[in-house]
Amino acid sequence: MITAEYVRTMARYNAWQNKQLSGIVDVMSEGELREDRGAFFGSIFGTLNHLLWGDTLWMSRFDPSVQVPKQTITQTTDLMPTIAVWGAERFRMDGKIRHWAESLRNLDLNGDLSWNSGATGKHETQPVTLCIVHFLNHQTHHRGQVHAMLTAAGKKAPVSDLVFMPEG
């Protein structure tokens, strides 16, 4: 389904996208960030918080050094209290994701991943590759929502085309 190189590319993409978003949201007012814009998680800030929570949750399943978030899915929009704290945690998590991806080997992509799901209330087992693809897709999906909210708010949204990602 995927290769370790694909995961590394998408981890770089994730960090690049989040860095661009940080540059935009860092200068927005608290009101602009928290305004309910009709998205699933309401505001730009709520969606960014949910995305950080989801990344942390999935990384705790992939990398035992990452702690499971204490918040449940219904508490994700309030994960970080301010955009500054969110930015610092986002940077830290993106580093964790890149480090994990750099250590992956194709062999690591075999087999299943099992976890207790708060979403379904059941013990789940799925192919590890499907879980990683979901993790990466979840990032892109919610950043797309943020992109749309920024555009609707009259802000210049970042370039999101994978083919234009800088090297490194």
Tokens representing residue 117 in the block: 């799901």
Q: Which residues contact 29 (CB under 8 A, 6 or more apart)?
A: none
Q: Determine the Cα–Cα distance for residues 157 and 25; give it in Å rounded to an integer.
A: 10
Distance CA 60, CA 69 (A): 8
Angle at 71 between CA 22 and CA 87, to 5 degrees: 15
pLDDT per residue rounded down to tens, the chain (168 residues): 899 999 999 999 999 999 999 999 999 999 999 999 999 999 999 999 999 999 999 999 999 999 999 999 999 999 999 999 999 999 999 999 999 999 999 999 999 999 999 889 999 999 999 999 999 999 999 999 999 999 999 999 999 999 999 987
The structure's pTM equals 0.96
